[in-house]
Structure 1
Amino acid sequence: MLPWRRVAISGWVVTPDRQKLSKRSGRSDPPDELIDRYGADAVRYWAASARPGVDTVFDETKMRVGRRLATKLLNASWFVLGLGPGDKPTEPLDLALLAELDAVVADATAALDACDYAEALERIERFFWFWCDDYIELVKDRAYEGDSSAGATLRIALSTVQRLLAPFLPFAAEEAWSWWQDGSIHVAPWPTVTSSDGDRSLLAPVTIVLAAIRRAKSEARRSMRWPVAELVVTCTEVQEAALVATERDLRSAGTVQVLRYTRSMDGELAIKATLAPA
């Protein structure tokens, strides 16, 4: 009988010049010092970013990223829980977000089943930053107004994101979970695919246009709430349909006064944002 059915092989932890780290070599910091400096979640995040079977460079910059991720999880949780809970997702952008979240759950679960925890973390983290930086900003005004669809979607996503990140940021996830749920997050059920009927393809065009608006304001040294007098989007018919479906949130997040569409002849998406005069 085989002693194991699956074996995960880890590489060495090495310095940037590929020298092995060990207590004997004197090149490594004691774990307690790293935990005191960055926090246990940040050190665990760095360790979980190491791909099985390959050597991993000791990188304190990665621990700073992990600390930032843990802090963002706490801040995002606090923000969402300060809004109304909502009832049921109905808006196109909200349903698209949940469809994307379904894909993240499926991908992360498959990666963990294959013992590729680094791949799972990368997929979860990529979605988490999109959720914080783009989706929440797009629906923030709607959520402040008490929109039921936005409130429901934010809480569904929060519950899922907290549980997805719990294996990697156990302390931050446990703390944020305790703010609104009973029991430990570490005995809560792992997220499952909900089979949302949303269209994930709606997300790409609206996030590209939002990024272009932000870039125009940054280059002009204006605040992100500075009005856009006119936004002209050159796009395909499919892209226009996606943007029309999410236009309410895009106009709100970008403070867009006039939005016009023109047809793209080469299939490329182009955005021209004219800011309101000072």
Structure 2
Amino acid sequence: MQRLAAVVADATAALEAFEYNRAIEHTEGFFWWYCDDYVELVKGRAYGSGMLAQSARNALSASLSVLQRLFAPFLPFVAEECWSWWMEGSVHTAQWPTAEELDALGGPDDGSSAELIAIVSEVLGEIRKAKSDARLSMKAEVKRVVVDGAPSQLDLLKLAQRDLCEAGQVKQLEMLAADVFRVRVELS
């Protein structure tokens, strides 16, 4: 949520300065990362049951609400239609999102979550690139992924190992301590 809070702050500041292009640029940039990486990583968990699944669904719900409100000035009819599918009232009368709203949702603010997301996004990007280069479906199975990196990076990656393997269709994920971060993908 820290990354989204920064987007909210940047987009709000840009709108207040009448820099509409900058506001939509920040929002769209985040949106595409959100769809490509974040949603792909958490959707398997969100479909499950229990506290982890509920937490994933709550995070998705909160972030989608914020994104729809950020897009509302630029895509008024689309934002309104999407809002009506799951929220009461109009997106145009909803409170503008704030960084404080997202901070209230909690989560670590020590930078570890941002580093975790960056590492997982990089590995997932390499998996997608290998599939794309081989002209395979993104749903194609990956036989093995080997990640070389610093022990601190690998410790963070272990926290998201299950989500990463599910999102990338990875059968085996190996992590090796090394000075240089590198990802090797072996397709099935």
| Alignment partners' CA distance in 2, 1:115 and 1:221 | 43
Q: Describe the superposition over 1:37-89 as per-residue Cα deviations: whole angstroms up to 9, x where unpaired.
A: xxxxxxxxxxxxxxxxxxxxxxxxxxxxxxxxxxxxxxxxxxxxxxxxxxxxx
**Offset, 1:126:** 0.5
Which segments of 5 or more consecutive residues in structure 1 lack a partner in the other structure? 1-97
Quickly say closer, same or farther: Cα 1:271–1:166, change in 2 above 3 A.
same
Q: Aligned to 2:183, what secondary structure does the other structure show?
A: strand
Identity of aligned residues (%): 48
2:138 maps to a residue whose letter is M
Q: Does 1:113 align with 2:19?
A: no
TM-score (normalised: structure 1):
0.61
| Alignment partners' CA distance in 2, 1:112 and 1:248 | 39
TM-score (normalised: structure 2):
0.88
| Corresponding residue of 2:185 | 273
Q: Aligned to 2:92, what secondary structure does the other structure show?
A: helix
Q: Does 1:172 align with 2:78?
A: yes
Q: Aligned to 1:186, what secondary structure does the other structure show?
A: coil
| Alignment partners' CA distance in 2, 1:212 and 1:242 | 17
| Alignment partners' CA distance in 2, 1:257 and 1:109 | 43
Q: Describe the superposition over 1:4-45 as per-residue Cα deviations: whole angstroms up to 9, x where unpaired.
A: xxxxxxxxxxxxxxxxxxxxxxxxxxxxxxxxxxxxxxxxxx
Which segments of 5 or more consecutive residues in structure 2 lack a partner in the other structure? none
Please give the residue correspondences for 1:1-278 in structure 2 after superposition, counting only pairs within 5 Å.
Answer: 98-146=1-49, 147-193=53-99, 194-195=102-103, 196-198=106-108, 199-265=113-179, 268-276=180-188
Higher relative contact order (Cα pairs below 8 Å, separated by 6+ residues): 2
Report the count of equivalent residues: 177
| Alignment RMSD | 1.4
**Offset, 1:242:** 2.2
| Alignment partners' CA distance in 2, 1:105 and 1:213 | 30
**Offset, 1:166:** 0.3
The answer to which structure has the higher helix fraction is: 2
Q: Describe the superposition over 1:173-198 as per-residue Cα deviations: whole angstroms up to 9, x where unpaired.
A: 01111111222111110001121433
1:148 maps to a residue whose letter is Q
| Alignment partners' CA distance in 2, 1:274 and 1:202 | 23
| Structure 1 residue ranges (4+ consecutive) displaced by more than 4 angstroms after TM superposition | none
Q: Aligned to 1:187, what secondary structure does the other structure show?
A: coil
Q: Aligned to 1:189, what secondary structure does the other structure show?
A: coil
**Offset, 1:222:** 2.2
| Alignment partners' CA distance in 2, 1:141 and 1:151 | 11
